[in-house]
Structure 1
Amino acid sequence: MEHPTALSPALVPDRRSRILDRLTRPILDTVLPRIDSRVLASTRPFTTPEVMRPHAESRRWAWTHYGVFLPELPSPHRYLNTMTFIGATGALAFDNDYLAADDARDTATVLSSTAAEGQHHYRAYDAGRDCSFAADGSRLDWGRDLSITGAYPYFHVRGHYDEFDVSLDIRATDQVSWFVRTPLYDHLSLFATATGTLTDKTGTVAIEQTLCTFEYARCMSPQSLTAQVLPTQRKLPVDFFTYQIINLDSSTQVLLTEVRAAGAVACRLAHVRSLDGTTRVYDDVAMTVVSYRPKPLVDPRGRPMRVPRQLRWRVRDATGAQILILDAEVDSPLRYGHGRGYVGAYTYRGTWQGRSSVAGSGYMEWIDCESGQ
């Protein structure tokens, strides 16, 4: 059974748990640094492809995520994303409860889009009825819409959506960026290249070899304990998320991430990786929203969300030297369905390593539930 995205029952106001909000900061500030090995692991080769399993019937791992992101394509597409979840997250920013399967733990979703007109697929599925996930991850099918096949380092992505089709061949490197690496939650991004095609009613466009990412996550959550959707008061208070990808040139990619929960920072990192094998991780990172769009976006449930018009990133190394200054203007349609938020593209200009000018188009994911929206 496929669940439509535009349902219209009356809105129920979010009522967050003050207790969970108050506990979040000491956990993130004190406990997480002691158990998270993400920075060290991001400087070592990837040697554990066996972790990338769907765990579709697991009651230990509440959810898994597979993602493939091409951050810069020629206009009008500009980017191509394939963003999936298997299982409900139990987190405020990522759950759309109105799409839940009869057993919330069986909820699966696919978001795939570009900036081209009409190229936006967002749909929910019942993993037990609509999907087929091989236990070893070698074949993953979300209904008839999306399949991801293969095994590290080679993957194939086939998307067959209402308005467009996608075919991608992915070759991953052994360079891995970890956003989280703990006993409770793993989230990684493999540096990769892609070739393929995009097809719509106007014809087929070839995707020449380009830098991309192949991503995987698995996470424990209170949602795994119950078939019922967790009420807002019991969801993990992750309320701000942005993830942005830019290809500085034909061999160098930058990942920019900021995640907050109840006002505390869970992740604020810049990962830089190059096809020559160079990998760097920076934690002296600042993102500033220079301006928001005059009006918030409103999702199919009537929920408003403020979204940026202009952004600035600043990345420095351990000595304080400027690594990256980036000014970005969000100038593409924003596509709903990354959890409660949106994805899209921006045009950026900046300075790399204090001397080189850079410019291009980047990919952005954005969820902002902080302001009581």
Structure 2
Amino acid sequence: MPKLISQINQLQQLGLNAKEGVVYQPSRGFFKIVYQGLILPNLPAPLRYFNYISLVGQPRIPLCYNAHTITTSAIDTATVLVSNSQHSVGHLKTYSIRRQCQFDSEQYKFDKTDLIEWKIPKIHLQRLDLEMGCNLTIHISENISNNSALQWGVSDYWSTLCLCEGEVFYKGQKYQVEGLGRFRHARALHLPFLSLCFYTCQIINLNETTQLAFSQIRNQWNIILCSRLDIQEFGKPVESFTEDVNLHIHRVYPKVRTPNGKEMYLPREFSWQCKKNGKIIFELYAQSRGDYKFGLAAGYVGSFQYQLSWNEQCLQGEGGYCEYIDCRPLRWQEKNQDEKILDKLMLLQPCLYKK
């Protein structure tokens, strides 16, 4: 029980901490885990979305630990996931940090395939691959206001809107990309085991300047540690909602076994609801496109169609972006499905007929 309370307190103390400034540097010293990710939602067909996510080292967290990609040791393993809605077999690349990677203060180089270069506020991403590649330039704000850190300085994280331009290559076709995205960066110590077992995040561009992101984290006991909605307009501070932000899974695909030997259910239809003072202020209903790809740490990425209501307006789109990892024991995953059936049965009203 003390361990559980400590984990909840750590997540509850995540907060805005812009005073420390943005830390952006390769893994060194005690910080062995480094995450970087670009997400571009709401792209035109056939891409629908695009992501470029690198993870240096694998922390001792069920959400992140993927034994399938480890060849030497967890701390020597780097992965780079580059995907869109189209089918691909080589979207996840695995590297030995010691043998195949070169890191310095201005770039990460993963063998001869993946390259991340930065000179803040500009970041360059490149993948040289016959199946799917990219050459993208990211422009981020110099004043990142949503910088946050776990207590004791064991981890820090920031996420910001960005403008992205460049080219995506897929099976001989070239697609021009230009628009609003999200860039995330995090680093952490090689922490002891933390029982973070469920994570999901959905990102949508409402228009050319405004983006929203839903996210939720649970532990192995199915306790919600964090559930939030972030709405941000480019060049302005993020507006966050952390009370009465609820996720509902309505239908799932048949149970899948991941390459690392875990079993989980992926959402087919789901919804988010955010209330303020008991009144619904934001509601999203989504249908997965069925294009899930494994490789986001121990889970999947994909896209979805959606309908949403906000400020008495109804909107719909085709290219919402979804991240989903569920490493909870199956009794929690399957219990949720049984509860939905029971909920429907409870709606049935008995009728008495007098003869």
Same fold, judged at TM 0.5 (above): yes
Q: Distance in 2 between matches of 1:316 and 1:47?
A: 32
Equivalent residue for 1:12? none
The amino acid across from 2:112 in the alignment is: R
Instruction: Please give the residue correspondences for 1:133-212 in structure 2 after superposition, counting only pairs within 5 Å.
Output: 133-134=103-104, 136=105, 138-173=106-141, 174-178=143-147, 180-182=149-151, 183-208=153-178, 210-212=179-181
Q: Distance in 1 between matches of 2:9 and 2:162?
A: 34
Equivalent residue for 2:199? 241
* Cα distance change, pair 47–190 in 1 and its aligned pair in 2 (3 A): farther
The amino acid across from 1:125 in the alignment is: Y
Note if contact 1:115-1:332 (Cα within 8 Å) is conserved in structure 2. no
Note if contact 1:331-1:347 (Cα within 8 Å) is conserved in structure 2. yes
Equivalent residue for 1:48? 21
Note if contact 1:179-1:267 (Cα within 8 Å) is conserved in structure 2. no
Kindly state the Cα deviation for residue 188 of structure 1 after the two structures are TM-superposed: 1.6
Q: Which consecutive segments of 4 or more residues in structure 1 shift more than 4 A?
A: 178-181
Identity of aligned residues (%): 25
Q: Distance in 2 between matches of 1:177 and 1:310?
A: 30
* Cα distance change, pair 205–326 in 1 and its aligned pair in 2 (3 A): same
Instruction: Please give the residue correspondences for 1:224-373 in structure 2 after superposition, counting only pairs within 5 Å.
Output: 235-262=193-220, 263-284=222-243, 285-293=245-253, 295-317=254-276, 319-353=277-311, 355-360=312-317, 361-372=319-330
Q: Which runs of 5+ in 1 are unaligned?
A: 1-21, 224-234
Give the structure, 1 or 2, with the largest relative contact order (CA under 8 Å, sep 6 or more): 1
SS at match of 2:140: strand
SS at match of 2:68: helix
Are residues 1:107 and 2:77 paired?
Answer: yes
SS at match of 1:129: helix
* Cα distance change, pair 301–279 in 1 and its aligned pair in 2 (3 A): closer
Cα deviation code 1:237-272 (max 9, x no counterpart): 111011111111111101111111222333211111
* Cα distance change, pair 274–325 in 1 and its aligned pair in 2 (3 A): same
Kindly state the Cα deviation for residue 276 of structure 1 after the two structures are TM-superposed: 4.9
Cα deviation code 1:59-83 (max 9, x no counterpart): x223110111111211111111111
Q: Which runs of 5+ in 2 are unaligned?
A: 334-355
Cα deviation code 1:150-174 (max 9, x no counterpart): 2221111111234111111111123
Cα RMSD of the aligned pairs, angstroms, is 2.1
In our comparison, the structure showing a higher alpha carbon Rg is 2
The amino acid across from 1:48 in the alignment is: G
Q: Distance in 1 between matches of 2:308 and 2:62?
A: 33
Note if contact 1:288-1:313 (Cα within 8 Å) is conserved in structure 2. yes
Kindly state the Cα deviation for residue 47 of structure 1 after the two structures are TM-superposed: 7.0
The amino acid across from 1:27 in the alignment is: S
SS at match of 1:93: coil
Cα deviation code 1:332-372 (max 9, x no counterpart): 4100011121000011101012x111211210010111134
SS at match of 1:62: strand
Q: Distance in 2 between matches of 1:37 and 1:98?
A: 31
Q: Distance in 1 between matches of 2:33 and 2:288?
A: 30
Kindly state the Cα deviation for residue 103 of structure 1 after the two structures are TM-superposed: 3.7
Kindly state the Cα deviation for residue 320 of structure 1 after the two structures are TM-superposed: 3.9
Note if contact 1:248-1:359 (Cα within 8 Å) is conserved in structure 2. no
Equivalent residue for 1:26? 5
Note if contact 2:52-2:80 (Cα within 8 Å) is conserved in structure 1. yes
Bigger drift between 176-185 and 254-263 goes to 176-185
Q: What is the TM-score normalised by the length of structure 2?
A: 0.85
Are residues 1:216 and 2:185 paired?
Answer: yes
* Cα distance change, pair 201–329 in 1 and its aligned pair in 2 (3 A): same
SS at match of 1:27: helix
Note if contact 1:84-1:108 (Cα within 8 Å) is conserved in structure 2. yes
Equivalent residue for 2:67? 97
The amino acid across from 1:237 in the alignment is: S
The amino acid across from 1:357 in the alignment is: C
